Structure 1
């Protein structure tokens, strides 16, 4: 066997895209990420990604500059494209693309550049690191997520970019919420609001996240206060040019958060709200369908239906959410919550739901929720 240091170097080369794994290693990566070898190491998607970076690099060389305005503009466009791809792309696939772009940003940071160019590179690297952390959380890869969040926060500090800094804290709040630490999620959400620009998306998102955390704590008054603040901020907002962009707040997104929050706090109004959100997410309006968000919306609807005592439909909707293959590991605890409640109430579909959940979620990753 090779020495551990040699294996670590090889893995770093694989994950940075510098070196393609040998066949036996490639198969192991495909098993871990749940993706085909074509997608990870040589299919059409990765060819297109290499072409995109090569095109940016060619433009940089043509401009006879280590960085240059055109290179930065194209890089910034690529960052926006990746953020817009988040709702419709599997986390492992998007993470691979993000890592490739981060490698390119790191190379540019080593070159000659003006102070303004340096800052723009830091900002691009900050957004990419933040998006990478979000993908890691979706995959429940928490140590990697923490490392990328720290990097994003560092880059935001050096670039003096409070919007990225606030998103880092809000993303940490989301991470601890998915892990069941609701009080810390409240504290972090409020901390994100304290540093976020009042006109930016991070401030709205952190307020919505605070409401969700209060709902999990059963604090009805605080939950409704947060929802009211979000509604006041988003009601005059126009739909952004790219509503699917993960870091540009879409007013329709507040409806999805409202549905989640009302379902968690046990409000019967969550049913109608969740139905409307699901219909919108599956329509062609406002940027087109968002399949991954629709899968999460089904979990909101299932939980809301349980509150309304519509037990059979709740089981049916939960089964649909699991069957489409779009739920990510950060959703598994929410699936467990619905399954456990369906079983506890003696719904006929309970056994089928439990089997579907066990098939969806490997045993080491399961989080059981008591009803």
Structure 2
């Protein structure tokens, strides 16, 4: 039987987080507070939505092997997980990626109460910021606006706590992308410019925000501002080499520049959009980037309309609609092409409209499409 002063020292140690509560004391605390152990202490792991927990177990094993609450090895592993998830974005169904991202957020949240140095805490907070940002992007893809707004607020707050301007800039750029897909084009310009002000100059967030600004100007129909933004992107991209992981959502791949140019010029109605769109589609065919392939086809369809080639535009749009892989954040792009084809009085536009209605009705009843493609980022 331990002496009273030993018990008091042990309890103070538990309260201060100096050591973990062992099985014996967990039971005693549960009896004292008249609560179940799991309710009082938690299960020690975040809830798993899809029945698999390999990622979590690997992280927890690495942490325990280092014999530390949160140490360098754990943080390196978590930062690697962020890179893996961000690289999976272009080829993953947003609902599936959201499950994986939320799992890691739960783990990071639990680690926040552990002992660590100030530098380690800043790195852990930054990991939480990246994961919140990616989860918000998936929420936008799925049309979950309130959830996305909450996660973006969290990402911005964590970016400030971690003193991480790149995350803050990406948060503003994501807001700009959402405003663009919602049709709030002037707001998208303002947010994209704000992202550029917050971002480290010439970094990935800065380039992406500049490209987003150009797309918003194109939707407003302002040719001079649009081409100015395109020119700035071109000068920023020219000296860049292809990154080690070009599919990484938060590392700008110079090859994205042509795809963005195709989208921007097609929205502006510039005939040059057709060649950019065809070139982009040719390079993407056969790659593991379904989002980019579908977006390139939509760019091509819109450019073909501007070039007076509605038949090919219709065929190209039908390929996109029939794929069943567009998520809510990109339905509007297909819809505007269908409306334009209908305005031309083409009888073939009716089957395209019906296919679109059927496909999206099926998606609403069945949930998010597997392997879906979101709006161009």
CA contact (8 A) 1:299 1:321 kept: yes
Q: Which residue of 2 aligns with 1:6?
A: none
1:85 equivalent among 78, 85, 88? 88
Question: Which protein has greater RCO, CA pairs closer than 8 Å, 6+ apart?
Answer: 2
Give the alignment's TM-score, normalised by structure 1. 0.84
- Is 1:250 the counterpart of 2:249 in the alignment? no
- Runs of 4+ aligned residues of structure 1 deviating over 4 Å after TM superposition are none
Match of 1:153 in 2: 156
> Map of 1:33-72 to 2, 5 A cutoff?
41-42=50-51, 47=52, 50-72=53-75
Alignment partners' CA distance in 2, 1:116 and 1:272: 49
| Separation in structure 2 between the aligned mates of residue 17 and residue 65 of structure 1, nearest angstrom | 19
Please give the alpha-carbon distance, in whole angstroms, between the structure 2 residues aligned to 1:123 and 1:359: 42
Distance 1:101 1:136 in 2: 16
| Structure 2 residue 200 is matched with structure 1 residue 171 | no
Counterpart secondary structure, 2:143: coil
Alpha-carbon offset, residue 338 of structure 1: 0.5
1:234 aligned residue = 237
Q: What do you get for the CA RMSD once the two structures are aligned?
A: 1.7
1:344 aligns with 2:325: no
Residue 312 of structure 2 corresponds to 313
Question: Do structure 1's residue 269 and structure 2's residue 272 form an aligned pair?
Answer: yes
Distance 2:351 2:292 in 1: 24
Q: Please give the secondary structure, in 1, of the residue aligned with 2:69.
A: coil
Counterpart pick for 2:114 among 111, 116, 121? 111
What are the superposed Cα offsets for residues 131-150 of structure 1, whole Å, 9 maximum, x if unpaired?
01111111111111110000
How does the TM-score come out when normalised to structure 2?
A: 0.83
Whether the 8 Å contact between 1:299 and 1:335 is mirrored in structure 2 is yes
| Residue 324 of structure 2: aligned partner | 325
Q: Flag structure 2 segments of 5+ consecutive residues without an equivalent.
A: 1-41, 365-377
Matched residue count = 321
Q: Deviations over 1:213-233 (max 9, x none)?
A: 000000000000000000010
- CA shift, 1:289, in A, is 3.0
**Within 2, Cα distance between the matches of 1:321 and 1:265?**
21
Determine the C-alpha separation between the residues in 2 that align with 1:360 and 1:198. 42
Closer, same or farther in 2 for the Cα pair 1:17/1:110, shift >3 Å? Answer: closer
Q: CA deviation at 1:363?
A: 10
Higher mean alpha-carbon deviation, 153-162 vs 59-68, is at 59-68
Kindly indicate whether the alpha-carbon contact (under 8 Å) linking 1:296 and 1:327 is maintained by their aligned counterparts in 2: no
1:9 maps to: none
Aligned to 1:282: 285
Q: What do the CA deviations read for 1:171-219 (whole angstroms, capped 9, x no partner)?
A: 0000011000000000111111111100310000000000000000000
- Answering whether residue 100 of structure 2 is matched by residue 97 of structure 1, we say yes
2: CA distance between counterparts of 1:361 and 1:179?
A: 18
Q: Which runs of 5+ in 1 are unaligned?
A: 1-12, 20-39, 366-371
Task: Give the Cα–Cα distance (whole angstroms) in 2 for the partners of residues 222 and 340 of structure 1.
Answer: 27
